[in-house]
Amino acid sequence: MKRTRHPREFKIQVANESIETGNAALVARRYELSPNMVNRWVKEYKDGKFDDHIPHGDTAPLETKQLSQENDQLKKLLGEKDLEIAILRDLIKKKNPPLTEKLEIANHWINKGYAVSTVLKILGIPRSTYYYQKNYKVEEKQVSEGRPAPGYSITKDGKKISDEQIKEWLVEEIEGDAYAYGYRKLTKQLRRNYDLIVNKKKVYRLCKELDILRPQRKKKVTYPRRLARNRIIKASNKLWETDIKYGYIEGEQRFFFVLSYIDVYDRSIIDYHISLSCSGKDALQTLKRALLKRQQFDKLEKPVIRTDNGPQFISHAFQEGFETLEMEHERIPPKTPNMNAHIESFHRILEDECLSRFQFETYEDAYREVSTFMKFYNERRMHSSILDLSPQEFYTKQQVEKLEIKEIHL
């Protein structure tokens, strides 16, 4: 192959451009030359080999070489200063630019042919950071982590039940008694009603797909209070709480009353009074019915009744009834509803799952729905504090078996 001979002026031009840009490889690529050849020309240019055309009388070769080197250094410094000014001008346009924008500016000037190290030094970006951001790519996940969902569950007798069928059962439960249940209680319901072997995580996933998860309650910031707790309840029929809840009849535009007695240990609503009025006599009559239901009427040690300071509970009729029944009645201090917490908690459940769920047109509608809910609450609704049993189930089993739950301190 015939070797190409390049003129001296061309070599000087290429060497100058390589020195100015600081990137001999880029200049070599521009002129379709070998990078090694360009580097050699640059070295020869800096050594003064291209200056032999200067007359001997003007400047000595050594001085010419020194002047050439100083000139090259000045050009390089001037080029870096110009580059720094241009880059800083780009940075000034953006106030406190993040790393991504600095990298964009760096790529802009590097692509123009300036040395990587020079540009990064001006921008204050480490070389490792630049190359990491340039070369590293986050691989998108093709599949979810963990083993894939099988798409079915198994019953106790080994039968496979598809997820679609389980979803239908969940919808049926939500439309029925399990209206207010979360995914944990729905899991219990599936196990009981369909003998399904399923865990709460799967039920949570299926409920999420159906968009039937109950909204999570926000935890309120509480502050400790020093209140007297002088009772430890370890069995049923030791302490009952009572209070009054108001409901509204939209069609008749008036309120109605629901007075309930709850056993703080087994959470049963022993008896209740629902009417358009509620007096001390009504509260006393409801208490007598509750005593008869629990077979406590003729016992010497009857349950203690705890109330707030409502007008029904401080009335003469109510107080005289306690003297006749020889029962103990205690009232909580003002502004301490947490000391009557169990009946207050039940009233919140009553509000969420019954009173706010329906719009009553007549008192008859209200009476029917509240009565239905009371039966459901006592007989079928699971309660997490009593081993996920309904109050009636827990109370019945407690009489036969020795079921133990956490002591209640009041």
Dump pLDDT digits (tens) for 173-197.
988 888 888 899 999 999 999 999 9
The count of domains in the chain is: 3
- Domain end position, chosen among 82, 110, 135: 135
CB 273 within 8 A of CB 258: yes
Is the same domain home to 124 and 175? no
For the domain that residue 332 is a member of, what is the CATH number? 3.30.420.10
Q: What are the residues facing 269 on neighbouring strands?
A: 262
DSSP 209-267: HHT-PPPPPPPPP----------EE-STTSEEEEEEEEEEETTTTEEEEEEEEEETTT-
Taking the C-alpha atoms of residue 166 and residue 152, their distance in angstroms, rounded to an integer, is 8
- Domain end position, chosen among 103, 135, 167: 135
- Structure pTM? 0.58
pLDDT at 57 over 50: no
Is the same domain home to 237 and 202? no
Per-residue pLDDT band at 108 (split at 50, 70, 90):
confident
Q: 98: domain range? A: 8-135
Is the same domain home to 263 and 342? yes
Does residue 222 form part of some domain? no
Does residue 145 form part of some domain? no
How many Cα atoms sit within 13 Å of 384 on the Cβ side? 8
CB 308 within 8 A of CB 332: yes
Is the same domain home to 403 and 259? yes
Residue 217 Cα distances to 182, 213, 214, 340, angstroms: 11, 12, 9, 21
Taking the C-alpha atoms of residue 135 and residue 123, their distance in angstroms, rounded to an integer, is 19
Is the same domain home to 46 and 108? yes
Residues 6+ apart with CB under 8 A from 382: 181, 185, 188, 189, 388, 389, 390
Residues 6+ apart with CB under 8 A from 65: 47, 48, 51
pLDDT tens profile 346-402 = 999 999 999 999 999 999 999 999 999 999 999 999 998 899 999 999 999 888 877
Round the average pLDDT of the chain to a whole number and report it: 83
Is the same domain home to 13 and 77? yes
